[in-house]
Structure 1
Amino acid sequence: MGLMFIIYTLSSEDGYASGQRSANVQEIIKENVHEYMDSTEIGQNLHYGLQSLIEAISPDGDNWYQTIRDIAHFSLYFFLALLLYITFSIAGISRLWKIILSLLICLGYALFDEFHQSMVIGRISTMDDVIVDMCGTLMSLGLCWVISAFCASLRSKPRQRL
């Protein structure tokens, strides 16, 4: 619930405040990473690789501002799905239902969040944000599924004594 409150609060910011937050994060990243990236060969290679990756996968090309916003959406929903999965695990729900419920809650909340955001002054609602949210959700739940299946396979193997 805490993470959902954070998402709701961030979506409640008007367009100017939201834009300023993104610009501040972008500046912090630039300040902290710029010197390292320019001063070492590894940093220069990393910078080139990251720039190429962002240009390849981002519809906005090398627009770091939008990329940072997409990373924020992805990360928030990655952790929301993870927390939901853990909560359902504690409740003893089966693995398949944990995935289904977490996915449906994240999808519903992403749609609600975009609807809410469309009513905030200076903000717009886009399905692109919902898609990025769902990518974070699916990545998280896929990781949970793999880890859960691996742990289940370890529990099912008989232990050998030395």
Structure 2
Amino acid sequence: MQKTLSRAAVILWMGLIFHLSHQAAAASSELSTGVTEIVLAFIEKVVPNEDLDVSSIHHIIRKNAHFFIYFFLGMLVLHALNMSKGTGCKTIGLALLICVLYAISDEVHQLFVPGRGAQVKDVLIDSAGASVGIVGYLLLSRLINIVRKT
């Protein structure tokens, strides 16, 4: 049952990535602009009278979205593989390979979406996010094992 659920989580997360990538440029920009406005409102409450460049914050938020969506994909993929193969170097490498190939396919997919394009930089950001997610999963797993033993 856990194998099935973990694989379903990967498929659903990949579906979310596909859905977000399939949005036309205007819709994608509208979504990230809304998130930017929320972040700016929060920053203004925490640091009042701070002059912020909206366009640079918008760019940072978009790139962080790439990183974090693949961060969670890396965790989910490694967990799903861990359910059936165990966590060895080959499993970790396979998890990263799956994430990188999905990032590449995601960018290729965007070539066919109106107003969108593919960027190697985004594949690198996605891959970095997946890598950190995989390492985070490994660290979290070790921490859980240590806590269970005590």
Bucket of the pairwise TM-score, normalised by the shorter protein: 0.7 to 0.9
Which of residues 66, 77, 82 is equivalent to 2:70?
77
Amino acid at match of 1:118: L
Q: Is 2:15 the counterpart of 1:15?
A: no
Describe the superposition over 1:105-141 as per-residue Cα deviations: whole angstroms up to 9, x where unpaired. 1011000000000111101110010010011011112
- In structure 2, how many angstroms separate the alpha carbons of the residues matched to 1:134 and 1:94? 19
Which of residues 107, 119, 128 is equivalent to 1:135?
128
Moved more, 139-148 or 26-35: 139-148
Paired residue total: 137
Structure-to-structure mapping, 1:50-89, within 5 angstroms? 63-89=56-82
- In structure 2, how many angstroms separate the alpha carbons of the residues matched to 1:132 and 1:24? 22
Q: Is 2:93 the counterpart of 1:100?
A: yes
RMSD: 2.5
Q: Is 2:40 the counterpart of 1:30?
A: yes
Structure 1: state its 5+ residue gaps. 52-61
Q: 1:151: how far off? A: 6.4
Q: 1:16: how far off? A: 0.6
- In structure 2, how many angstroms separate the alpha carbons of the residues matched to 1:101 and 1:71? 24
Q: Could you tell me which residue of structure 2 aligns to residue 58 of structure 1? A: none
Q: Is 2:119 the counterpart of 1:126?
A: yes
Q: 1:97: how far off? A: 2.4
The alignment partner of 1:91 has SS state of helix
Q: 1:148: how far off? A: 4.5
Structure-to-structure mapping, 1:138-149, within 5 angstroms? 138-148=131-141
Q: Percent identity?
A: 30
Q: 1:19: how far off? A: 0.8
